[in-house]
Amino acid sequence: MTMPTDGFSFELLATKGKARAGILHTPHGDILTPAFMPVGTLGTVKGMTAAELQAPPLDARIILGNTYHLYLRPGLDVIRAHGGLHNFSNWQRPILTDSGGFQVFSLAAINKIDDDGVTFRSHIDGSKHRLSPEIAMEIQGVLGSDIAMAFDQCPPGQAPVDVQEKAMARTTAWAKRCLAVERPPGQALFGIVQGGVDVDRRRRHLSELAPLNFDGYAIGGMSVGEPIETMYEVLDAFADDLPADKPRYLMGVGKPQDLTRAVAAGVDMFDCVLPTRNARNGSLFTHDGKITISNAKHKADTNPIDKECVCETCQTVSRAYLRHLYNAKEILYSRLATLHNLTFYACHMRRLRESILASASHS
């Protein structure tokens, strides 16, 4: 059993049913939960400056960086020379880094998975690399993230039972090895619960990880091919089983309605590429549902994306202008659209939090 990380703590303020509102204290600042973390895979949330991400009403308190991608490019020597990812990317608020496991298992051409780790080839140049719990922690130590993730094996959502069981066993063994690695001062470590869509397996895996006393717990292996209703059923039955005094993180999910459902199930933290990727591809979120900006009906539309939105994009330009930029492949389109989608997500999470606080039982 490990001791809590200095400078890192979770304060639960209120609950409404299973839904929770809290504050995550980290060395680089506080995170109000429930929270959505914009994804900054390569040390950048695509198209956004740090100042834009931090400015109200977006006010992103934490972003996510990717261990696998940053290790391959620009490489640890470059980031080490800057004193870590915060300085390298000019982002002085909290950062969470994933372990690289998901990318190794889903993106890379895998040579060999064994109980010690994974040998894989780079998606950039085909060079061969090795990733293990110790190496994943070493990389995250160089990155200097506020929250590191334990190295895990992430199987497809509806993988056969034997594959799920093997992934759970490896993830537990690797979690213990991650905990044994010395971390930079103040860096918290979250464990990841696997088990696919079987709630009993999830609970069994949690029973192995909970005694290890991680700083937080994540639900991994969701939104990886299983039907959305199945994911909801698992979350409704299982999310509230995670330790109540630790932050709960649902990895890689999802749409606004997914976040609402998961918050109601007891989840505190989320990340997903959806708002940024959708923005670049012409899909914008509004209070009336998604719109496709390339549609002809927007050609002369003088309205903003969303009349209820307070982002700079909605306050300054029309749907017609955005459609023009999109069709002309202007870089400005991606910036304006990304700012809107991320602000929409941030405001969505803020409303969920305010709803919990307004009609909640206070802890």
Q: Catalytic residue positions?
A: 98, 271
Q: Is 129 helix (H, G, I), strand (E, B) or coil?
A: strand
With residue 114 as reference, give the H or E element that holds it. Answer: strand 109-114
Could you count the other beta carbons within 10 Å of the beta carbon of residue 2? 11
Say if CB 58 and CB 346 are below 8 A apart.
yes
Say if CB 206 and CB 200 are below 8 A apart.
no
DSSP class of residue 298 equals G
Could you count the other beta carbons within 10 Å of the beta carbon of residue 78? 12
Residue 317's contacts (CB-CB under 8 Å, 6 or more residues apart) are 304, 336
Q: Is the bond preceding residue 155 a cis peptide, omega within 30 degrees?
A: no
Could you count the other beta carbons within 10 Å of the beta carbon of residue 124? 9
What is the per-residue DSSP string for 4-48? PPTT-EEEEEEEETTEEEEEEEETTEEEEESEEE-B-TTSS-TT-
Return the amino acid letter for 271. Answer: D
Vertex 169: Cα angle to 163 and 170 (nearest 5): 90
Structure tokens at 16: 């409404």
Q: Is 110 helix (H, G, I), strand (E, B) or coil?
A: strand
Could you count the other beta carbons within 10 Å of the beta carbon of residue 253? 21
Q: Is 138 helix (H, G, I), strand (E, B) or coil?
A: helix
Distance CA 42, CA 68 (A): 9
Strand partners, 189: 148
